[in-house]
Amino acid sequence: MTGFGLAAGARLSTAAAFYRDSDFLPGESTDNPNTPWVRLGPAVAYTFSEKQGAAFNKPTVLLLSQWWLEHRYRAGQDISQALPCITLAFRFEGELWGTDN
């Protein structure tokens, strides 16, 4: 994090499902074509201010832009791999008033 509230980095997301043979119906294929999937891209966050003990502290905007490296449909097979998964989020921290610590 910089002195003016900016943080940047990279984010790797991945998922894989592990099914047992008993999770499938008799005679059903046990292949799982839906996983694994993998996304990679930049992550940027900006924190506007910080006041220790405030009820509304460290308001932060986060932006993630990730591209599918591996996916059944989104890694160039049915949808262009150039189309990213974009996430915009807002977070904050705070102290509760009137609590005894």
pLDDT-based confidence at residue 2 (cuts at 50, 70, 90): low
> What residue numbers bound the domain in which 44 lies?
6-13+35-93
Total count of domains within the chain: 1
Phi and psi at 24, nearest 5°, equal -110, 155
Q: Is residue 62 part of a domain?
A: yes
Q: Is residue 26 part of a domain?
A: no
Phi and psi at 56, nearest 5°, equal -130, 95
| pLDDT per position as a tens digit, 25-72 | 998 888 887 888 999 999 999 998 877 777 888 899 999 999 988 888
Q: Is residue 63 part of a domain?
A: yes
- Altogether, the residues listed in the chain come to a count of 101
Q: Is residue 60 part of a domain?
A: yes
Q: Does the pTM of the predicted model rise above 0.75?
A: no
Q: Is residue 21 part of a domain?
A: no
SS3 40: strand
Q: Is residue 28 part of a domain?
A: no
SS3 46: strand
